[in-house]
Amino acid sequence: MDRPLLIASDHAGFELKEKLKRVLDAMSVSYRDLGATSADPVDYPDKAHALASLVGRGEAERGVLVCGSGQGMAMAANRHRGVRAALAADEETARLSREHNDANVLALGGRLIDHDRAERILKVWLETPFAGGRHAGRVVKIDPAGSELM
């Protein structure tokens, strides 16, 4: 990645986000933390929209979002044109989201998956390239230019 990875969480994902930052440090992946800065309550859509707007505008290539289930973050992020947020609960889903769907945002559930599994998911997601080929045309159809979507 040419630009830093973005990472953000709400209060429910704060603990896992902090662990994932240590994983990124160990992998020498540069990142920018958009918060939360503690386990104090914060609304997940605010964090998801902040990260997704930067990815959607091309100011970041990829991002990671963590909330209680990961689902709310993924739903909010996917409202942004150019964002393909994937909720992953295992390594295979993470791999396929990159390989087939060119996911540029990973959503994780801090209350649903253990931290060791989240670490493995993150590593697979970061290391898996987009396969292109027959998948490229399908990815274009996710967010067609000029469509009435969004």
Instruction: Please identify every residue annotated as catalytic.
Output: 67, 100
Q: What is the DSSP string of 52-109?
A: HHHHHTTS-S-EEEEESSSHHHHHHHTTSTT--EEE-SSHHHHHHHHHTT---EEEEE
Please count the helices (runs of H) and the strands (runs of E) in the chain. 6, 5
SS3 content of the chain, % helix, strand, coil (to 5): 45, 15, 40
Coil vs helix vs strand at 6: strand
Radius of gyration of the chain (CA): 14
Q: Tokens 């060119």, residue?
A: 102
